[in-house]
Amino acid sequence: MSYQGTQITISLKNLKANLYYIKSKVDNTTKIMCVVKAFGYGSEPIKISKFLEKNGIDYFAVAYVNEGIVLRNSGIKLPILVLHPQIDDFDEIIKYNLEPNIYSFRILNAFIKKSKSHPFHLKFNTGLNRLGFSIDDIDKLYDILNGQGNIKFLLSHLGASEDKKEKNYTENQISLFEKISAEMENKFGISFKKHLLNTSGILNYSKFKYDMVRTGIGLYGYGNDKKFSKHLKPVLSLKSIISQIHSIKKGESVGYNRGFVAKTNCNVAIIPIGHADGISRRLGNGKVGFLIKNKIAKTVGNICMDMLMLDVTNISCKEGDEVTIIDDKVQTAEDLGEKINTISYEILTSLSSRIKRTIVNI
């Protein structure tokens, strides 16, 4: 199959190892929800989800309804939570048997107009101040919902579960969630199932696993903490090739806006991947290097839309040789993110869908 020379490889073996590591942090009665939003964190959503479904998980989560429809159309049978539905989504949510995360009265009212029996998850805000009801909304929720709603789970979301310095904040979120849960159960006179923890929550606060945990980044091999790096294995690697090599003379320039002007004679390799593929323009001008023949070749000049240039003056290499951009050893997505003050999540999810994905079992 033809491709641009740049390839992403997805390791199912690493995915499985990560899933097992996450599972080892909770009881075997705790349900596992796998978060496959944003194209499976930039990897590939369908084959990954099918693989996870076969490996004993319980639930999927996506951000938007379209992502859930893609999973249903590919034959996924497990329940799918839609984290961020809008009022116009409910016909499709019901048609495709998706479960909405209900986070406001506006959304709740639109939803129960469509169905009073379709299952949903009820989201409370405990300090992240993103989506969710507040503890003061419980009476009104009861008035609207009493006897006519199918709340499958209560949930909230931690805002700093990876950050040791914010332990207090996280513990406050947890105790508020407990208080909300108790008030909900008291008011409604029944007990509810709950889920709270994301990956870093599972790794750092596993005691609060409740009935289910939600893992995203951990599945893909990142734990937001070097401590967990040896247990989690990056699932995605990104490689490219050298399209062409130029000998540049002292005084000549390379790339748009003459971003680089040679102080000495040098060799520059042209690589078929650019900012349109998710390699940020901020990584240009020597900010990062990629691996060629076991040596680091730094970026030269500005990153272009579809290509970038690397300094290969001191590397014996030729056109067609391999370039490693992200892998699980030399340079992870987290390492790359650190160079430009961002996180593995952004590096991974920025990788363009035009890059060919190959799924391997090793």
Ligand X SMILES: *Cc1c(COP(=O)(O)O)cnc(C)c1O
Active site residues: 37, 256
Among 8, 26, 35, 317, binds ligand X (CB under 6 A): 35
Among 199, 204, 299, 344, binds ligand X (CB under 6 A): 199
Among 8, 62, 83, 336, binds ligand X (CB under 6 A): 83
Residue (173 or 198) nearer to ligand X, CB: 198
Check residue 42 for interaction with ligand X (CB under 6 A): no
Contact 195, 214 (CB under 8 A): yes
The angle subtended at Cα 332 by Cα 328 and Cα 322, nearest 5°, is 70
Residue (145 or 158) nearer to ligand X, CB: 158
Report residue 299 as tokens.
Answer: 């970026």
Check residue 107 for interaction with ligand X (CB under 6 A): no
From the number of C-beta atoms within 10 Å of its C-beta (0-12, 13-18, 19+), residue 281 rates as middle
Among 14, 125, 173, 198, binds ligand X (CB under 6 A): 198
The count of residues interacting with ligand X (CB under 6 A) is 11
Check residue 214 for interaction with ligand X (CB under 6 A): yes
Q: Which residue is nearest to ligand X (CB)?
A: 216
Q: Measured from the CB of residue 156, what is the shortest distance to ligand X in angstroms?
A: 9
Q: Interface with ligand X by CB under 6 A: which range of 11-19, 208-216, 295-303, 346-354?
A: 208-216
Chain centroid offset of residue 43 CA? 9
Check residue 6 for interaction with ligand X (CB under 6 A): no
Contact 223, 199 (CB under 8 A): yes
Q: Which amino acid is at 257?
A: N
Residue (40 or 218) nearer to ligand X, CB: 218
Residue (135 or 343) nearer to ligand X, CB: 343
Separation between Cα atoms, residue 127 and residue 177, nearest integer Å: 10
Check residue 212 for interaction with ligand X (CB under 6 A): no
Q: Measured from the CB of residue 214, what is the shortest distance to ligand X in angstroms?
A: 4
Residue (6 or 215) nearer to ligand X, CB: 215
Q: Measured from the CB of residue 278, what is the shortest distance to ligand X in angstroms?
A: 18
Kindly identify the residues of this chain, within the stretch 228-247, that bind ligand X according to CB under 6 A.
Answer: none
Check residue 68 for interaction with ligand X (CB under 6 A): no
First CA to last CA across the chain, in angstroms? 21
Q: Measured from the CB of residue 276, what is the shortest distance to ligand X in angstroms?
A: 24
Kindly identify the residues of this chain, within the stretch 144-163, that bind ligand X according to CB under 6 A.
Answer: 157
Q: How many CA atoms lie within 13 A of 196 on its CB side?
A: 32
Residue (215 or 302) nearer to ligand X, CB: 215
Kindly list the distances between the CA atom of residue 76 and the CA atoms of 56, 173, 323, 330, in Å, as whole numbers in the listed order: 13, 33, 35, 35
Other Cβ atoms closer than 10 A to 342:
16
Q: Interface with ligand X by CB under 6 A: which range of 87-95, 182-190, 198-206, 298-306?
A: 198-206
Chain centroid offset of residue 45 CA? 11
Q: Interface with ligand X by CB under 6 A: which range of 19-27, 165-173, 213-221, 237-245?
A: 213-221
Residue (38 or 241) nearer to ligand X, CB: 38
Q: Measured from the CB of residue 114, what is the shortest distance to ligand X in angstroms?
A: 23
Check residue 23 for interaction with ligand X (CB under 6 A): no
Binding site for ligand X (CB under 6 A): 35, 83, 157, 198-200, 214-218
